[in-house]
Structure 1
Amino acid sequence: MKHPFSRFFGLGEKEEEQVDMETPSRNEEIKKIAISDIVPNRYQPRTVFNENKIAELAQTIHTHGIIQPIVVREYDHGKFEIIAGERRFRAMQKLGWETAPAIVKDFNDTETASVALIENLQREGLTPIEEALAYGKLLELHQLTQEALAQRLGIGQSTVANKLRLLKLPQEVQEAILQKQITERHARSLIPLKDSEKQVKLLAEIIEKNWNVKQTEERVVKLLSSLDKKPKPKRKAFSKDMRIALNTIRQSLTMVSDNGINLDSEEEEFEEYYQFTIKIPKKKS
């Protein structure tokens, strides 16, 4: 069975061995690296770590030891950046370990970012916003279309598109998804409103009243319906003589401006008349 990364990078079997993150190849060894010399991955898509889950993992490691080493790269003055295994690293920190078993890979920034993103996307637990950010970063790193990215990840193009739409929602809505106050379907229901103020206002209602997705969708339909019913201001039809007069004044103002005279003009329409206000600044002597 091919490694999930090989489909993304288009690797052959020989190259695939080098990308198999947590199984050391014949040329690699598992090293003991000081915990204090290890730093998190800058491209880590996971922004929310469940502390209870980390504590459970720490207990498992304490009882059974580390089954798989973490994967790192050396990148700055003896420091090592995590490529894969940040949850295990955090668990080892919680246990107070001084060193961590690690495989050291020779990866550049793009490879490090891509592997970290894909490795997390292949696992469960990312929030929809974290997934969307990961898709966006991969599109940027590899200059791919949404369709090409979907093919490489083995998912539908609509999945990528729907996730990326979430990033157009206000920050308050995105944060609510991250904190699991609302679901992805709640958030997608807000998209048709378009206006960010209305979306944030409705978000507060959803949380306060604990609405399900169907109730949210019904509320959005009502809001859109009320917007469509708002009467649009009617513009009075001008007589032919009025149109000639207005056009003549506008042309005259244009001619004055074209002759190098600075003027400030404003048009206002009232119930009974049309008003031009013209200001010509005096030249200082």
Structure 2
Amino acid sequence: MAFSLFGIGKDHSGDTKNKVVEIKVEQIIPNRYQPRKVFDQDGIRELAQTIDEHGLLQPIVVREYESAKYEIIAGERRYRAVKLLNWETVPAIVEKMSDKETASLALIENLQRSQLSSIEEAQAYRQLMDLNHLTQSALAKGMGKSQSFVANKLRLLKLIKPVQTAILDHRISERHGRAMLDLDEKQQREMLMRVVNERLTVRQTEDEVAKTLGRPLPSELAKQRAEKKRQELADLEGTPTEEIEVEESLKIPSQEKPKKKVKANKQHKKASTSKRSSKASDGRLALNTIKKSIKLATDNGFTITTHEKDNDDTYQLVIEIPKKQ
């Protein structure tokens, strides 16, 4: 076998039969640890049609759990397809494996195919941990995932069964389920009914959950963050053009970078121009702009001396720059 995670697929001292044999379909049962709960019937029919036209290119893998009785290790979709075609026998490779190895391999094979729903994936992780006595960290390392990824999947198992089933049946999304994690069982049940009947979006669900728990609404928090970001951008765009030009001219050669063109819509340009006009009338702003330019120059290694005086009607600022730096 190609799998070697958690000691699975290691040599069994010559006991493994690697040749392909024909086994009666009626002697085969699905894997009892198959993590996939929902099979795409249209996909199975398409696979059956392909097998009918081209034959079974890859044998299924089974183990003999009792005399003349076999359990699928890998290839349940192929098994379902040949049953649909009413085949009497199917090509198979027989492996000798323990219950633990069979279960673990079935789980790993399906996880690596990345075709499981989020709930099926979480259940598979939990079963692997229980079967092999693994910590979240060890499982994550073995599966090539981060521990936080595995932990977040496992949290879905805290949802009540009806919510998990709704995710399995694609009636709600994984994100809907995550939004309900902090609710108790009764609240989850009520929220599930609302999500399905009212067709709530994820954001609406998050808001309704927040209302139930007496928390700030995520949508309002998102608006506040967006407004803060917009204001920050507006403040930056409101910087006088003269200040930007001075800053660019004072950059030392080693720090020069190609200027990027910034596009803005006409409406925003008008707002920015209006803002600059109103601010330009403020003498204090002009003075601060000059000071920023001076600071930028000194930060770049220039020696500059300033003398500032606050008169009744004017600000006086004398700047001395030695010719030789």
Q: How far has the Cα of 1:10 moved from its partner?
A: 5.4
Inter-CA distance 63–224: structure 2 relative to 1 (3 Å threshold): same
The question of 1:168 aligning with 2:158 is answered yes
1:149 aligns with 2:139: yes
Give the one of 180, 203, 212 matched to 1:214.
203
Q: What secondary structure is seen at the aligned counterpart in 1 of 2:63?
A: strand
The residue aligned with 2:93 is 103
CA distance in 2, matches of 1:161, 1:226: 24
Could you tell me whether the CA contact under 8 Å between 2:17 and 2:95 is conserved in 1? no
Residue by residue, what CA displacement relative to the aligned partner does 1:39-59 show, whole Å, maximum 9, x if unpaired?
111111111111111101101
User: In the alignment, what sits opposite 1:177?
Assistant: 167
Q: CA distance change for structure 1 residues 110 and 10 in 2, over 3 Å: closer, same or farther?
A: closer
Percent identity for Structure 1 against Structure 2: 53
**1:224 Cα offset (Å):** 1.1
Aligned-partner Cα distance in 2 for 1:10–1:61 = 33
Moved over 4 A (4+): none
Give 2:65's match in structure 1, choosing from 53, 72, 75.
Answer: 75
- In 1, the alpha carbon distance for the partners of 2:75 and 2:148 equals 29
CA distance in 1, matches of 2:186, 2:65: 44
**Contact 2:48–2:84 (CA<8 Å) still a contact in 1?**
yes
State the alpha-carbon separation in 2 of the partners of residues 188 and 146 from structure 1: 19
Instruction: Quote how far apart the aligned CAs of 1:223 are.
Output: 1.3
Residue 124 of structure 1 deviates from its aligned partner by 2.8
Tell me what 1:200 maps to.
189
Identify if the C-alpha distance between structure 1 residues 73 and 184 changes in structure 2 by more than 3 Å, giving closer, same or farther: same
| Contact 2:160–2:188 under 8 Å retained in 1 | yes
Cα distance between partner residues in 1 of 2:85 and 2:179: 43
> Could you report, residue by residue, the CA deviation over 1:122-160 in whole angstroms, capped at 9, with x for unpaired residues?
113211111111111110111111011000000111121
Judged with a 3 Å threshold, the aligned counterparts in structure 2 of structure 1 residues 199 and 151 are, in CA distance, closer, same or farther, namely: same
Q: TM-score, normalised by structure 1?
A: 0.71
Quick one: which amino acid aligns to residue 188 of structure 2?
Answer: Q
Helix, strand or coil at the partner of 2:56: coil
* 1:130 alignment counterpart: 120
| Structure 1: distance between partners of 2:215 and 2:178 | 20
- Give unmatched runs, 5+ long, in structure 2: 217-325
What amino acid does structure 1 have at the position aligned with 2:116? L
- 1:9 is displaced (CA, Å) by 2.5
SS of equivalent residue, structure 2 residue 58: coil
Give the deviation of 1:67 after TM superposition: 1.1
Give secondary structure in 1 for the equivalent of 2:107. Answer: helix
- Stretches of structure 1 that go unaligned for 5 or more consecutive residues are 20-25, 228-285
Superposed CA deviations along residues 205-238 of structure 1, whole A, max 9, x for unmatched, are 11112122111111111111179xxxxxxxxxxx
Q: What residue is the counterpart of 1:9 in the other structure? A: 6
1:76-105 CA-to-partner distances (Å, cap 9, x unmatched) read 131010000000000000001000000000
1:87 maps to a residue whose letter is R
Q: Please report how far the alpha carbon of residue 27 of structure 1 lies from its aligned counterpart in structure 2 after TM superposition.
A: 6.2
Tell whether the 8 Å contact from 2:64 to 2:96 is kept in structure 1 after alignment. Answer: yes
Which position in structure 1 is the counterpart of 2:178? Answer: 188
CA distance in 2, matches of 1:164, 1:48: 19
**Residue of structure 1 in register with 2:82 after alignment:** 92
Match of 1:118 in 2: 108
- Give the match for residue 50 of structure 1: 40
Matched, 1:30 2:14: no
Write the letter of the residue equivalent to 1:221: A
The match for 2:246 is: none
The higher relative CO (CA closer than 8 Å, separation ≥ 6) is in 1
What is the distance in 1 between the residues matched to 2:213 and 2:115? Answer: 34
Aligned residue pairs total 214
Deviations 1:2-22 (A, max 9, x none): 95x32x2358xxx66x69xxx
How far residue 161 of structure 1 moved from its aligned partner, in angstroms, is 1.1
